[in-house]
């Protein structure tokens, strides 16, 4: 008899475990909406990759550019989410990024240093496809991929380097939907890479011809960005 009771308890144990894991779902029908909206706030880190060419001036100077330090920026935006199926949706996310980087130019022989503060205010319109896993209780992980055209509103002239206003990012990211009683809270980490060269080679804006050597020393500049966001949907 004791052995039979033991067997029954062993058979019922997995059911008890499942019962303990199951929870009441918050907002059980929220993912069935065809179209819904939300907003997000976040922080980001901008990076620029320089391809230096070793250009030598008439005075024998050779300058190399890199990023002196990284400063976190601020991001804010809204989103529209179109349901394409049980596990896939299309997202359009108009965004503004506010950031700043410090570019350092170092002369190879003398060690002389020149610096340029690059402030950016980007208007971006990312278009992403979101692939979500099956919902379990009150969370649902996902991955996302897409592209993001961007326009820089704060390009400054008469500096060492002049950047183009338009850029284009390829983006991938991942996050998790947390279902709260009244809305979804969604932390997301996103990586953005630009294939475009944003350096302007023609410099008619320069009043100081000595600044031209910095542009001549760089072949190509590309942008990167890492963004950590909190969505509210």
- DSSP characters over 118-180: EEEEEEE--EEEEEE---BTTEEEEEEEEEEEEEES----SSS--B-SEEEEEEEEEEEEEE-
Residue 13 has pLDDT above 60, yes or no: no
Residue 160 has pLDDT above 70, yes or no: yes
List C-alpha distances in Å: 197 to 1, 192, 207: 79, 15, 24
- pLDDT at residue 22, rounded to an integer: 61
Confidence of residue 6 (pLDDT cuts 50, 70, 90): very low
Higher local confidence (pLDDT), 22 or 222? 222
- What does the alpha-carbon distance between residue 191 and residue 161 come to, in Å, rounded to a whole number? 25
Residue 2 has pLDDT above 50, yes or no: no
169-186 mean pLDDT: 95
Number of independent structural domains in the chain: 1
- pLDDT at residue 208, rounded to an integer: 81
Confirm whether 111 is domain-assigned.
yes
Share of the chain above pLDDT 70, in %: 91
Confidence of residue 146 (pLDDT cuts 50, 70, 90): very high
- pLDDT at residue 21, rounded to an integer: 60
Confirm whether 14 is domain-assigned.
no
- pLDDT at residue 155, rounded to an integer: 86
- What does the alpha-carbon distance between residue 134 and residue 132 come to, in Å, rounded to a whole number? 7
Structural domain that includes position 228: 24-232
The total of other beta-carbon atoms located within 10 Å of residue 13's CB is 10
- Residue indicated by tokens 């909406």: 33
Confirm whether 155 is domain-assigned.
yes
101-119 mean pLDDT: 91
- pLDDT at residue 231, rounded to an integer: 97
Confirm whether 16 is domain-assigned.
no
Question: What does DSSP assign to residue 226?
Answer: E
Residue 4 has pLDDT above 70, yes or no: no
Question: What does DSSP assign to residue 213?
Answer: H
- What does the alpha-carbon distance between residue 75 and residue 78 come to, in Å, rounded to a whole number? 11
Confirm whether 19 is domain-assigned.
no
Higher local confidence (pLDDT), 10 or 47? 47
9-34 mean pLDDT: 65
Confirm whether 12 is domain-assigned.
no
Confirm whether 9 is domain-assigned.
no
Six-digit token pair at 193?
Answer: 């890479």
CATH of the domain at 74: 2.40.160
Residue of 134, 99, 115 whose CA lies nearest to 67: 115
Residue 159 has pLDDT above 90, yes or no: no
Confirm whether 114 is domain-assigned.
yes
Look over the chain and give the mean of its residue pLDDT values, rounded to a whole number: 88
Q: How far is CA 51 from the centre of its chain?
A: 22
pTM for this predicted structure: 0.83
- What does the alpha-carbon distance between residue 135 and residue 156 come to, in Å, rounded to a whole number? 47
Answer for the pair 193, 169: CB distance below 8 angstroms, yes or no: yes
Residue 25 has pLDDT above 90, yes or no: no
Residue 87 has pLDDT above 90, yes or no: yes
């Amino acid at each position: 008899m004791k052995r039979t009771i033991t067997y029954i308890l062993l058979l019922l144990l997995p059911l008890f475990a499942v019962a303990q894991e199951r929870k009441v779902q918050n907002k059980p029908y929220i993912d069935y909406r065809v179209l819904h909206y939300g907003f997000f706030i976040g922080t980001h880190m901008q990076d620029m990759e320089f391809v230096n060419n070793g250009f030598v001036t008439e005075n024998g100077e050779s300058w190399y550019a890199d990023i002196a330090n990284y400063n976190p920026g601020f991001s804010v935006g809204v989103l529209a989410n179109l349901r394409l199926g049980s596990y896939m949706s299309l997202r359009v996310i108009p965004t503004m990024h506010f950031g700043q980087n410090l570019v350092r130019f170092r002369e190879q022989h003398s060690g002389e240093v020149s610096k340029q503060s690059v402030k950016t205010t980007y208007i971006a319109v990312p278009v992403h496809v979101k692939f979500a896993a099956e919902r379990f209780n009150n969370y649902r992980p996902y991955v996302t991929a897409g592209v993001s055209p961007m326009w820089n509103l704060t390009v400054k002239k008469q500096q060492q380097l002049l950047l183009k206003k338009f850029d284009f990012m390829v983006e991938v990211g991942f996050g998790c939907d947390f279902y709260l009683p009244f809305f979804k809270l969604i932390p997301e980490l996103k990586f953005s890479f630009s294939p475009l060269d944003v350096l302007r080679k023609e410099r008619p804006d320069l009043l100081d011809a000595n600044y031209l050597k910095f542009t001549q020393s760089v072949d190509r500049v590309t942008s990167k960005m890492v963004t950590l966001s909190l969505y509210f949907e």
